[in-house]
Structures are given as structure tokens and as C-alpha cells.
């Protein structure tokens, strides 16, 4: 976008005030896993804010940091860039601030603008009115030809406005669709995990410390595919059509450099020294999982039909092993059978997989008690609206 701007004065301002400067970004995450995301972002050398924020992590950097986080993060749900804060005690105050803000540095006239607005504990509480104020005054600043998204356009830029305690914080969406939509796992199974959640659990379980992953209730294959991507250092979002490419500050050459450096780190599956054993008793689920495995991972990851309760530890190659389990619960199984299933799972692990560590999702304390397995920590969250927790043996 930057290279196509013909106004030399505007290009100079964008270069000075956007491209050359550091910015504040926010990566959202499944609540409960903020520290997991923080560790991941730190591992890719992004400076983090020391302030804890529920539901996400703030980091700072130049635009290249945003590109890097968007392509590499396996756990973030969305990434946005903070661009402004306006006092919003009254309409006049807010309108004047919006009109005086240099929107041309962040928005292009030829790209439709959409809004996501929330408001609480503020004098201006009506989100529809806030949207009207922003549209009117941004248009006054940028000109009558400015477009607003109405559902008819194939692409747009989203401004996220959070009006809280009479301060309107404005951010611009960098990542677009939620980042669990990798474009890799095409076919969904019954109540399958989101890819970002699977990665959160795997990273929280310290997957890289293990040699073998056992995924014996694999469903559509989410755990196994995400593990394979982690072990091969395959960037999960490398080919997405990110909205930041529509920013006036976007330079294709800079983005391609960041992308090429990321791709240099990818490891061939046969060079990882790792093994993944993936299975499910449900033939239909295994068929879906097989279809979901990316072509370059099909020699590494081969889902098979098998019953977890018939497996023995002897199937595991030598090395340190991790079992991950997302057993059926909720609508997938009668409530009366859930505790029975979890009791059988606990017995199976104690009897046949004593040397393995585990990360197991359990829907409530009754299921945890039925499992009767020791654990060092657990993280509660919601899956499909159901309160659950993942327990970790290590």
C-alpha cells in the first residue's frame, strides 16, 4: 500500500509516524491462558508489557513485530494495534478529538472501514451513537469518498473502539478472522477443539520436552496436527490474507523479508526426532483427521483406527511421552456415562501408561474425581460453552 501512495507529504508522514516508530499491540487469548501466550510471544523476542490484562497480552514493537506475531503465534486469537485514546465525557469533546486525529496515517480512502464497538461505565453508552460519531468525524477528516463496510465488500479494515470509564481506546485489527482458522484443518469433527486452544494446551504441557505424543482420542486431529506444526516449526498463519496488508504503512518488501526469515526456521518432519501416534475408535473421525493432515506432514502423521483401551505402552517408541486427551462429554455423551468414562481413562493410564505424562480435559470436578489421577496444576476454561479444565501431570 505504501508504495502506491502518490502524495509525497503523506508518505513522509507515514514513514515518520508509523513505519519508523514503535507501537503498542494487543494479542487476545482464551481466558486462563494469558501466561502461556506471554511465554510464546517472549520466545519470538517480542517485548511484553509487565501489566497483567485478562484475556490477552500487550507487546511493543515496530510493524515488523506485528507481522511476526501474526504469522508465528499459535495461541493468540487476534492481534490488534493500539492507535488512539480519546476522552469521551461528552459528544463535543469526543467529536473534536476524532476530527483532529490523523486517520490518513492508518486508513486508506479506497478500503471500507468497519467498526466493533463496546461501551460501559461511560457517559456515552449507546454503541450505535458512538459508531455514528466516529463515522461522521472520520469522514469529515478523510473526505466524502471514504467507504464504510456494509457487507457488500470482500475486504475491509476494522476499527475496534472500547469506551470504558469515559476513555475511548481505538485499535485497528491486524489479523482479521480469528487466528484459529489456520486454513489447514478443513474438516471439523464433533465438538472439535479450536487450533489455538490445542496449541495452548500443548505448549502449557511443555510439548518440546517430549519425544513422543500419544493422541488416542484424536477426533478431527487437532492436537496431533498442531503438535506436528510445533515440532517442525511450521508457521501456522503464514499464508493468511492479513488486514495489515491494507494499511497505508504496509510495505510488501518488509513483510516478505520477515516471512522469508520465518520460513528459514522450518524443519523437515524426518529431522525432528519426534513421533506422533494418533488414533480414534471412531472410523469417521479418523477419516476426517486423515483428510485434515497437510500434505507435507502425511509421512509424519498417520491417524489410525484404534481403541485407546486396547493400547499398551509397548506401542510407544523410546523417549519421553505425553498423552493428550479430549474425551467425549457434553452433548457427545450421556451425563450419566461421563464419570464412568473418566474413571476408565484414569484406570487405563495408571495401569498401562504409568511412565507417561498427560494433559487431559475434564468437564467439572466430578469428572476430575472419577479420573483419580494426580496433577500438578489445572487451568479452567470454557469449551463450547461448557465449563471445563485441563489438568497437567507435570
Task: Evaluate if residue 185 carries a pLDDT over 80.
Answer: no
Helices (H) and strands (E) in the chain, counts: 11, 13
Neighbours of 12 (CB within 10 A): 10
Q: Are residues 112 and 228 in the same domain?
A: no
List the single range of 82-91, 100-109, 182-191, 257-266 with lowest mean pLDDT: 182-191
Domain count, the chain: 2
Neighbours of 290 (CB within 10 A): 17
Sequential DSSP letters for 82-114: EEEEEE-SSHHHHHHHHHHS-GGGT--TTS-EE
Per-residue pLDDT of 225-261, as tens digits, reads 999 999 999 999 998 999 999 999 999 999 999 999 9
Q: How high is the pLDDT of residue 330?
A: 76
133 phi and psi angles, rounded to 5 deg: -65, -45
State the pairing for strand pair 113-120/78-87.
unpaired
CATH of the domain at 386: 3.40.50.150
What 8-state DSSP symbol labels residue 192? P
Task: Evaluate if residue 187 carries a pLDDT over 70.
Answer: no
d(CA 93, CA 223): 50
Q: Are residues 298 and 387 in the same domain?
A: yes
Q: Are residues 144 and 209 in the same domain?
A: no
pLDDT band of residue 169 (cuts 50, 70, 90) is very high
Q: pTM above the 0.85 mark?
A: yes
Sequential DSSP letters for 254-287: HHHHHHHHHHTT---GGGS--EEEEEES-HHHHH
Give the DSSP H or E segment for 131. helix 127-142
Q: Are residues 214 and 355 in the same domain?
A: yes
Q: Are 188 and 284 in contact (CB under 8 A)?
A: no
For residue 50, tell me if it sits in a domain: no
Sequential DSSP letters for 356-376: -EEEEEESSHHHHHHH----S
Q: Are residues 166 and 203 in the same domain?
A: no
Q: Are residues 272 and 164 in the same domain?
A: no
Q: Are residues 199 and 328 in the same domain?
A: yes
The percentage of residues in the chain with a pLDDT greater than 70, rounded to a whole number, is 96
pLDDT band of residue 52 (cuts 50, 70, 90) is confident
Q: Are residues 203 and 334 in the same domain?
A: yes
List the single range of 331-340, 354-363, 366-375 with lowest mean pLDDT: 331-340
Question: Cell for 13?
Answer: 508522514
For residue 347, tell me if it sits in a domain: yes
Task: Evaluate if residue 42 carries a pLDDT over 90.
Answer: yes
Q: Which range of residues forms the domain containing residue 137?
A: 2-21+62-72+78-173
- The contacts of residue 136 (CB under 8 Å, 6+ apart) are 95
Amino acid at each position: 500500500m505504501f508504495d502506491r501512495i502518490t502524495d509525497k507529504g503523506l508518505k513522509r508522514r507515514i514513514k515518520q509516524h508509523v513505519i519508523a516508530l514503535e507501537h503498542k499491540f494487543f494479542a487476545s487469548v482464551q481466558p486462563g491462558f494469558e501466561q502461556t501466550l506471554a511465554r510464546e510471544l517472549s520466545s519470538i523476542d517480542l517485548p511484553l508489557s509487565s501489566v497483567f490484562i485478562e484475556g490477552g497480552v500487550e507487546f511493543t514493537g515496530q510493524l515488523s513485530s506485528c507481522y511476526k506475531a501474526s504469522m508465528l503465534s499459535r495461541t493468540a486469537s487476534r492481534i490488534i494495534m493500539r492507535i488512539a485514546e480519546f476522552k469521551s465525557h461528552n459528544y463535543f469533546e469526543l467529536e473534536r478529538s476524532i476530527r483532529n486525529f490523523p486517520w490518513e496515517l492508518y486508513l486508506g480512502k479506497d478500503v471500507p472501514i468497519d467498526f466493533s464497538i463496546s461501551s460501559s461505565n461511560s457517559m456515552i453508552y449507546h454503541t450505535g451513537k458512538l459508531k455514528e460519531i466516529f463515522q461522521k468525524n472520520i469522514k469529515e477528516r478523510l473526505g466524502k469518498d471514504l467507504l464504510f463496510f456494509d457487507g457488500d465488500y470482500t475486504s475491509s479494515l476494522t476499527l475496534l473502539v472500547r469506551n470504558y470509564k469515559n476513555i475511548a481506546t481505538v485499535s485497528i485489527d491486524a489479523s482479521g478472522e480469528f487466528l484459529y482458522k489456520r486454513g489447514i484443518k478443513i474438516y471439523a469433527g464433533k465438538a472439535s477443539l479450536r487450533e489455538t486452544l490445542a496449541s495452548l494446551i500443548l505448549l502449557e504441557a511443555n510439548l518440546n520436552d517430549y519425544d513422543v505424543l500419544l493422541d488416542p482420542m484424536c477426533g478431527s486431529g487437532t492436537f496431533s496436527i498442531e503438535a506436528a506444526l510445533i515440532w517442525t516449526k511450521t508457521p501456522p498463519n503464514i499464508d493468511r490474507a492479513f488486514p495489515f496488508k491494507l494499511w497505508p504503512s504496509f510495505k510488501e518488501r518488509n513483510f516478505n523479508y520477515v516471512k522469508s526469515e520465518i520460513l528459514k526456521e522450518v524443519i523437515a518432519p524426518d529431522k525432528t526426532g519426534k513421533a506422533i501416534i494418533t488414533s480414534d475408535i471412531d472410523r469417521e473421525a479418523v477419516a476426517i483427521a486423515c483428510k485434515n493432515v497437510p500434505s507435507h506432514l502425511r509421512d509424519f502423521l498417520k491417524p489410525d483406527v484404534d481403541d485407546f483401551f486396547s493400547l499398551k505402552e509397548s506401542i510407544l517408541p523410546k523417549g519421553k511421552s505425553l498423552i493428550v486427551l479430549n474425551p467425549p462429554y457434553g452433548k457427545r455423551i450421556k451425563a450419566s456415562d461421563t464419570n464412568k468414562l473418566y474413571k476408565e481413562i484414569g484406570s487405563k493410564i495408571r495401569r498401562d501408561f504409568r511412565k507417561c505424562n498427560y494433559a487431559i480435559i475434564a468437564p467439572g470436578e466430578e469428572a476430575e474425581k472419577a479420573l483419580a489421577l494426580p496433577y500438578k496444576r489445572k487451568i479452567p476454561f470454557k469449551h463450547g460453552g461448557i465449563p471445563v479444565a485441563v489438568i497437567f501431570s507435570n
